[in-house]
Amino acid sequence: NPRWSLNGMTALVTGGTRGIGHATVEELGGFGARVHTCSRNEEELKMCLKVWEAKGLVVTGSVCDASCREQREKLMEEVGSVFSGKLNILVNNVGTNIRKPTIKYSGEEYSKLISTNFESSFHLCQLAHPLLKASGVGSIVFISSVAGVLHIGSGSIYGATKGAMNQLTKNLACEWAKDNIRTNCVAPWYIKTSLVEHLLDNKEFLQNIICRTPLERVGEPEEVASLVAFLCLPAAAYINGQIISVDGGFTVNGFN
């Protein structure tokens, strides 16, 4: 059923060697898309590409620090040449966090979080726009966070970058609809990845998360990737400008 297939489509997923990005590469590939990804660690990227090839997925990759403007430009040039100037899907997944009280952040930490989490996504959208438009059917998905909607104690700069991403979703959804590019956003609560494993290893911290989550567990990367893939399918062709939480019910749990 072509409505539930990404056959013949091309995708760029940033940060695909671990966590949510890794699961997203596999999910999009599984639906038939050709995928390009990036990360900063060349060894890990090569390893992933080998495993994906063995699994029969068509994945290519570039070493790229998405927080660096010149490297983003180079990445999009590579994407353009791998996919002959046409891109159907852009998943802005790269993101990081530094957790501390607001008054303790240095200028460098502020810049690092803004450039990695927000500026990179904004600029990659700008760079991808001609390719997305040329493909005829484009889809952008941002990996945001429930921290962009609520205070969850993960740090004010992280929350602000994700809040900015949520608003950018709405702006691009309207501005680029005429180019047949849909824009949506996925907002996860705690997902078992290398980004937060040091936190989830702490029993008390984990218990505090679980007791606020109706499903009484944290999420798996695959459970985020499935929504990302759905949003990119022809089946989701009328879904545009939405911010959807993947949170086990956390955001609707009230003052519990």
Q: Does the footprint of ligand NDP cover residue 190 (CB under 6 A)? A: yes
- For ligand NDP, which residue of 19, 29, 138, 159 counts as binding (CB under 6 A)? 19
- Please, which residue, 47 or 174, has the CB nearer to ligand NDP? 47
- 62 counts as binding ligand NDP under rule CB under 6 A: no
Tell me the closest approach of the beta carbon of residue 158 to ligand NDP, in angstroms: 7
Using rule CB under 6 A, residue 167 touches ligand NDP: no
Instruction: Tell which positions 69-128 bind ligand NDP, by CB under 6 A.
Output: 93-96, 116
Could you identify the residue written with the tokens 């502020």?
110
* Per-residue tokens: 8: 């013949």
Coil/strand/helix, residue 145? coil
Q: Cα separation of 75 and 106, whole Å?
A: 29
Q: How many CB atoms lie within 10 A of CB 38?
A: 26
41 binds ligand NDP, rule: CB under 6 A = yes
Residue that the structure tokens 């608003």 belong to: 167
From the candidates 110, 158, 190, 238, give the one annotated as an active-site residue. Answer: 158
For residue 39, state whether it binds ligand NDP (rule: CB under 6 A). yes
Would residue 158 show up in a list of annotated catalytic residues for this protein?
yes
Distance, CA of 186 to CA of 18 (rounded, Å): 17
Query: What is the nearest approach in angstroms of ligand NDP to the Cβ of residue 152?
Result: 9
DSSP code at position 32: T
95-114 exposure pattern, b = at least 16 Cβ within 10 A, e = fewer:
bebbeeeeeebeeeeeebbb
**Binding range to ligand NDP, per CB under 6 A, among 2-10, 39-47, 78-86, 133-141:** 39-47
Pick one of 66, 209, 231, 243: the residue that binds ligand NDP (CB under 6 A). Answer: 66
Exactly one of 10, 88, 145, 240 binds ligand NDP (CB under 6 A); which one?
145
Give the distance, in angstroms, between the CA of residue 102 and the centroid of all CA atoms in the same chain. 25
For residues 162 and 144, what is the distance between their CA atoms, to the nearest angstrom? 5
- Pairing outcome for strands 59-63 and 181-188: unpaired
Size of the site for ligand NDP (CB under 6 A): 30
Positions annotated as catalytic residues are: 158
Which parts of this chain interact with ligand NDP (CB under 6 A)? 15-21, 38-41, 44, 64-67, 93-96, 116, 143, 145, 188, 190-191, 193-196
